[in-house]
């Protein structure tokens, strides 16, 4: 079993590689978006679909780069593998499977339980009150 520090070191290498790839792809897509704007208004934009797809890709890549930067900061500060919620070290076995985990298993389950409860409450509130439900004819 590897230690948290060993996993952090390896995770940093993986993150930096992923960051470089995402940056390159982002540059490529942005370049495409810049060059393909020569559109004849009368003929419509045959590339509209492609352009919208690429704009969505740019946003997804930016989000990805943000989360990579956050993870790299954690590695640098030495807080990688520390639960954001309770401050306990995350089980290395969990980090092996989910190197991007920011919560320990206990907190993850707790957060999911809270989210499920909130969703269930929202569903219950969205449902019409009993009096407005159609009457059952006997």
Residues 15-74 contacting Zn ion, CB under 5 A: none
Distance (Å, whole) CA 107 – CA 79: 16
**Among residues 13 and 93, whose Cβ is nearest to Zn ion?**
93
CB 38 within 8 A of CB 47: no
Q: How far is the CB of 119 from Zn ion (least distance, A)?
A: 22
Exactly one of 15, 75, 95, 107 binds Zn ion (CB under 5 A); that residue is 107
63 to 102: interface string for Zn ion, x by CB under 5 A = --------------------x-xx----------------
Q: Output the smallest distance, CB 117 to Zn ion, in A.
A: 18
Which of 15, 29, 74, 104 contacts Zn ion by CB under 5 A?
A: 104
Tokens of 71: 């993870």
Token reading at 42: 């009368």
| CB nearer Zn ion, residue 88 or residue 96 | 88
Rg (CA), the chain: 23
Residues facing residue 89 across a β-bridge: 82
Q: Which whole-number Å values give the CA distances from 69 to 3, 7, 63, 74, 75, in the listed order? A: 22, 17, 10, 9, 10
Q: What's the min distance (Å) between Cβ of 108 and Zn ion?
A: 8
Contacting residues toward Zn ion, per CB under 5 A = 83, 85-86, 104, 107
């Amino acid at each position: 079993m590897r230690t948290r520090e060993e996993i952090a070191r390896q995770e940093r290498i993986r993150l930096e590689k992923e960051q470089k790839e995402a940056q390159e792809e982002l540059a490529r897509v942005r370049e495409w978006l810049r060059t393909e704007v020569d559109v004849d208004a009368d003929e419509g934009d045959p590339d509209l679909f492609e352009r919208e797809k690429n704009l969505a890709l740019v946003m997804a890549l930016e989000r990805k780069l943000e989360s990579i930067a956050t993870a790299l900061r954690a590695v640098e500060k030495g807080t990688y593998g520390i639960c954001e919620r309770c401050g306990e070290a995350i089980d290395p076995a969990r980090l092996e499977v989910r190197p991007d985990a920011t919560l320990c298993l206990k907190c993850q389950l707790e957060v999911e339980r809270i989210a499920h409860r909130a969703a269930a409450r929202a569903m219950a509130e969205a449902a019409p009150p009993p009096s407005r439900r159609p009457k059952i004819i006997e």
